[in-house]
Amino acid sequence: ADPIPTTVTSCSALVKCPLQCVCQIRPWYTPRSAYREAATVDCNDLFITAVPEDLPAGTHTLLLQSNNIARLEQSELDYLRNLTELDLSQNSFSNVWDFGLKSMPQLLSLHLEENRLTELPDSSFPGLSSLQELYLNHNQLRRIAPRAFAGLSSLLRLHLNSNLLQMVDSRWFQMLPSLEILMIGGNRVDAILDMNFRPLSNLRSLVLAGMNLREISDFALEGLRSLESLSFYDNKLVTVPKRALQRVPSLKFLDLNKNPLQRVRQSDFTNMLHLKELGLNNMEELVSIDKFALINLPELTKLDVTNNPKLSFIHPNAFHHLPQMETLMLNNNALSALHKQTVESLPNLQEISIHSNPIRCDCVIRWVNSTETRIRFIEPQSTLCAEPPDLKRRHIRDVPFREMTDRCLPLISTQSFPSRLEVMDGDNISLHCRAMAEPDPEIYWVTPSGVKLIPYAHDGRYKVHPEGTLEIMGISAQEAGLYTCVAHNLLGADTKRITVLVNSSFPHSEASLELVVLDIQPYHILLTWKPHLNAVSSNLTWSSFLLSSSLDTTNVARIPLGTHAYNITRLHQDTEYWACLHVAFVDLQAKVACINARTKEATRHHRFLGDRQCLLTLLALSILLLATGLVARLISHKPTPCSFPLLPPLLAAIPQSEAEGMDGSHMGQTEQKWQQ
Ligand SMILES: *[C@@H]1O[C@H](CO)[C@@H](O)[C@H](O)[C@H]1NC(C)=O
Ligand SMILES: *[C@@H]1O[C@H](CO)[C@@H](O)[C@H](O)[C@H]1NC(C)=O
Ligand SMILES: *[C@@H]1O[C@H](CO)[C@@H](O)[C@H](O)[C@H]1NC(C)=O
Ligand SMILES: *[C@@H]1O[C@H](CO)[C@@H](O)[C@H](O)[C@H]1NC(C)=O
Ligand SMILES: *[C@@H]1O[C@H](CO)[C@@H](O)[C@H](O)[C@H]1NC(C)=O
Ligand SMILES: *[C@@H]1O[C@H](CO)[C@@H](O)[C@H](O)[C@H]1NC(C)=O
């Protein structure tokens, strides 16, 4: 069939256009985005197996996408002296020698994506000395020789994404001194080595998405001094590669979306002087943005932290010195609130998005309704209260916050850690407990054996961070069991538990409960007991035998977890008492241990007794006992012969602030009575 002649409007004369192709002038942009009008021959989607013959001599852009071409000779294109862009994507090339483009010094743009190339040998693209764009994405490239790109000294843009590469070789880049854009994502590369991109001093944009990267070494990004945009989208990074990022001085846009980060930690983003936008979206594991996570980012204008289903905590001081921050996107997280301080720390904030979070409309979020708020809420219609029940689904801006108290109880976020975790013997684990309240809550953890772990105190392989994360280095099978987080402020406490199974099991406590009298005085009795594995709750009850039972009802005190001693105060002198400890365990069992003891007779002698020797003996004994952890086992049931009211080391074991049963006012009353 004869080609049907059509006009190419750029030429004054009639030019033949090959059958089924479309020849017209189309807008065209150079790789540096300069606009041109280009004589374009569009032969896309024709299922042809060879380049059509007799193309218009003035062809600038030749589109041969989605055909079945597997070979191409230089002679087939030789006469197209002005050919600038050649699109051979979605064809059947399997070998780089099958497109014999030996000399096309005018070609700027070559598309070879979605072919079947498996390998690029040395000097794969000879004679393309002006080439600026090369698209090789979506092939099956497993190997690229060190000098594959030799001669491409003008190349600005290289797309190698979605191939089968297993390593990124810095020698490739020595041939590409002008490169500005490199897309290499979607290759299963284990590691980016130090100095991997060093020759690319002109690179402006680097995409390392979907590569399975677990770690970025400290010098991996060395030499990228012009880099402005960097994407680590969809990798396996568990921490922010902060040292590597420090070596990219010009960075403006950073995408860390879809990585399994659990926390954004202190100083993760620091002193990045040109950073304008940061993305921390779609992170399944992200729980918390810790104190001083972002520090001194003088040009940051937009922070995107959205669609993180566990993100339940942003520290009031998470941000420090972000003077240009205008837009804070926090929608679709698990945030119950955002602190006023967080917002106030951003002097230039214009708009904020917190819709689609389980917002608790109480004191923490009260600032939303303050008249000083100059901040625009994005999608106010869907910014709703999730709690308390009576405000559910109310628009947050309509809530009459003024009537509320400015203090509220801590509530531990249900998203921050699971109720059950299975790990292997020797694993390092991190449990993130976060709570928001006013005033800020303090957090501690209690181990299965009842040991209380407080922030900053290093207890062997346990470490509690002030925000509430418990880290256990190399957990052993004996340490499996019930871990409890307690968040408390002056209004009260909230607890949340997690059962940690090591190698699919955890030990049960076999030992029986044992209650021991540590000290007896006329008006108080100090009891102690051995910590029990996996206790869920403990109560202490006591009553006297003698006093009329109708008047003297049984007293109950809830024992805070991690407490193993209790001072029963306001007792009557010389009276027989009966006390019982009730402990409920994680497996729904309960145990009770009881003891009886008689308070002493109040005498003058009592108050001024000062037997130094006895005190020292008792002190030494108690220190020894605490050190060996055998308090309960070694102390006899009989009251000790010494009668000193205070044993300093034991005192330390009794929490003062949050002891729910140890009411300071009661103690005061007892003391008054004592002095009468
Ligand atoms: C190729 O481009 C040059 C400069 O734009 C032009 O003068 C020349 O006519 C073109 N060649 C053909 C065959 O159209
Ligand atoms: C605060 O809430 C009241 C409704 O109780 C509303 O009328 C008022 O406009 C709100 N103020 C601001 C600044 O949003
Ligand atoms: C636990 O952490 C330590 C110190 O960071 C590390 O050396 C060790 O390999 C880790 N163990 C596991 C099982 O990941
Ligand atoms: C736990 O399981 C791991 C892997 O199966 C095994 O190497 C280890 O010895 C087990 N530890 C205990 C205490 O059973
Ligand atoms: C302790 O008392 C609380 C409140 O009365 C109760 O819910 C809990 O079951 C008691 N625990 C034990 C172990 O008796
Ligand atoms: C127990 O309470 C009494 C009376 O309040 C007090 O004097 C004594 O120091 C307390 N003992 C301990 C160990 O706290």
Question: pLDDT tens-digit profile of 507-556?
Answer: 766 667 888 899 999 999 999 988 777 788 889 988 886 655 545 568 89
Q: Strand pairing of 277-279 and 302-304?
A: parallel
Pick the closest to residue 633 from 535, 526, 532, 516 (CA basis): 516
CATH architecture group of domain 168-260: Alpha-Beta Horseshoe (3.80)
- Mean pLDDT throughout 550-578? 83
Task: Output the residue whose Cα is nearest ligand 5's atom 10.
Answer: 539
* Local structure of residue 571 (DSSP, 8 states): P
Residue 608's Cβ-count burial label (10 Å; 0-12, 13-18, 19+) is exposed
β-strand partners of 544 = 577
Q: Any idea which fold 417-502 has? A: Immunoglobulin-like (2.60.40)
Q: Are 382 and 355 in contact (CB under 8 A)?
A: yes
| Long-range CB contacts for residues 510-514, cutoff 8 Å, separation at least 24 | 512/591, 512/593, 513/581, 513/583, 513/591, 513/592, 513/593, 514/593, 514/632, 514/633
| Strand order across the beta sheet in which 555-559 lies | 555-559, 535-544, 576-585, 590-598
Q: Whose CA is nearest to atom 1 of ligand 5?
A: 539
Residue 57 CB–ligand 1 contact under 6 Å: yes
The ligand placed nearest to the CA atom of residue 38 is: 1
**Element at 248 (helix H, strand E):** none
Compute how many other C-beta atoms are within 10 angstroms of the C-beta atom of residue 115: 25
Altogether, the residues listed in the chain come to a count of 676
| Ligand 4 pocket, residue 477 CB under 6 Å | yes
Report how far residue 235's alpha carbon sits from residue 97's, in angstroms, rounded to the nearest whole number.
Answer: 34
383 CB-contact burial (10 Å; exposed 0-12 / middle 13-18 / buried 19+): buried
What does the pLDDT average to over 49-61? 92
Summary mean pLDDT of the chain: 84
Residue 551 in tokens: 């008047």
pLDDT at 450: 81
- Mean local confidence (pLDDT), 273-298: 97
Site of tokens 């008249």: 371
CA dist 111 and 121 (Å) reads 18
In the prediction, which pLDDT does 663 show? 33
- pLDDT digits 0-9 by tens, 626-655: 444 433 333 333 333 333 333 333 333 333
Atom of ligand 1 nearest to the CA of 57: 13
Instruction: Show the tokens assigned to 628.
Output: 């060996």
Which residues are near ligand 6 (CB < 6 Å)?
524, 526, 567, 569, 645-646, 651, 667, 670-671
Task: Encode pLDDT of 316-366 as tens digits.
Answer: 999 999 999 999 999 999 999 999 999 999 999 999 999 999 999 988 888
Q: Which ligand is nearest to the CA of 474?
A: 3
Q: Alpha carbon 2 to chain centroid distance? A: 65
**CA Rg value for the chain:** 36
Instruction: Judge if 168-260 and 508-676 fold alike in CATH terms.
Output: no
276-406: CATH topology: 3.80.10
| Ligand 4 pocket mutation pick from 500, 503, 506 by most atoms within 8 angstroms of CB | 503
- Could you tell me if 378 and 331 are in contact, meaning their C-beta atoms sit under 8 angstroms apart? yes
| CA atoms of 572 and 552, how far apart (whole Å) | 11
Name which of 406, 424, 484, 475 is nearest 450 in CA terms. Answer: 484
Contacts for 665-669: CB closer than 8 Å, 24+ residues apart: 666/569, 666/570, 667/567, 667/569, 669/570
For position 671, what pLDDT does the model report?
27
**What CA–CA distances, in Å, run from 558 to 408, 445, 642?**
22, 17, 28
Portion of the chain with pLDDT greater than 90, in percent: 56
- C-alpha 556 to ligand 5 mean position (Å): 9
Residues 236, 647: Cα–Cα separation, whole Å:
52
Ligand nearest to the CA of 373: 2
Tokens of 127: 């004679």
Q: Note if the bond before 388 is cis, omega within 30 degrees.
A: yes
Residues 144 and 166 sit within 8 Å (Cβ to Cβ): no
Whole-angstrom distance, CA of residue 564 vs CA of residue 635: 14
- Which of 31-45, 50-64, 117-131, 505-519 is the least confident region? 505-519
Predicted local distance difference test score (pLDDT) of residue 308: 97
**Contact between 79 and 52 (Cβ < 8 Å):** no
Look up tokens 């605490």; give the residue: 626
Residue 426 CA to ligand 4 centre (angstroms):
8
Residue labelled with tokens 């304008």: 276
Amino acid at 40: T
Instruction: Tell which one of 352, 365, 368, 369 to mutate to probe ligand 2, the residue whose CB is within 8 A of the most ligand atoms.
Output: 369
What's the pLDDT at 592? 84
9-18, 299-308, 424-433, range with the lowest pLDDT: 9-18
CATH code: domain 508-676 is 2.60.40.10
Strand-pairing partners, residue 442, are 488
Output helix, strand, coil percentages for the chain, rounded to the nearest 5: 15, 30, 60
User: Is-contact 354 373, C-beta < 8 A?
Assistant: no
C-alpha–C-alpha distance, residues 181 and 455, integer Å: 46
Predicted confidence at residue 604, as pLDDT, reads: 64
Ligand nearest to the CA of 429: 3
Helical ranges in 303-450 per DSSP H: 340-344
Q: 390: which DSSP letter?
A: G
Give yes or no for residue 134 having a pLDDT over 80.
Answer: yes
Ligand 5 centre distance from Cα of residue 418 (Å): 24
pLDDT per residue as tens digits for the range 421-444: 999 999 999 999 999 898 999 999
Kindly indicate the confidence band of residue 605, based on its pLDDT and cuts at 50, 70 and 90.
low
Distance 428 CA to ligand 3 centre (A): 6
Cα–Cα distance for residue pair 529/516, rounded to 1 Å: 6
Give the CA angle between residues 550, 556, 558 to the nearest 5°. Answer: 170
Helix (H) or strand (E) holding 123: none
**What CA–CA distance (Å, rounded) separates 25 from 33?**
18
Beta strand ranges found along 503-548 (DSSP E) = 515-520, 525-529, 535-544
Query: What is the identity of the amino acid at 48?
Result: I
Is it the case that residue 621 has pLDDT exceeding 50? no
134-143, 155-164, 492-501, range with the lowest pLDDT: 492-501
State residue 90 phi and psi, 5-degree precision: 55, 50
Report domain extents, the chain. Answer: 168-260, 276-406, 417-502, 508-676
What pLDDT is recorded for position 574?
A: 87
Q: What residue has token string 């009592």?
A: 606
Q: ω into residue 439 within 30 of 0, thus cis?
A: yes
Give the per-residue pLDDT at 152: 95
Span 458-474, average pLDDT: 88
- Over residues 232-279, the pLDDT tens digits come to 999 999 999 999 999 999 999 999 999 999 999 999 999 999 999 999
Report the distance separating Cα 437 and Cα 416, nearest Å. Answer: 15
So what's the pLDDT on residue 464?
A: 93
CB within 8 Å of 355: residues ≥ 6 apart: 331, 332, 377, 378, 379, 380, 382, 383, 384
Q: Is there an atom of ligand 4 within 6 Å of 19 CB?
A: no
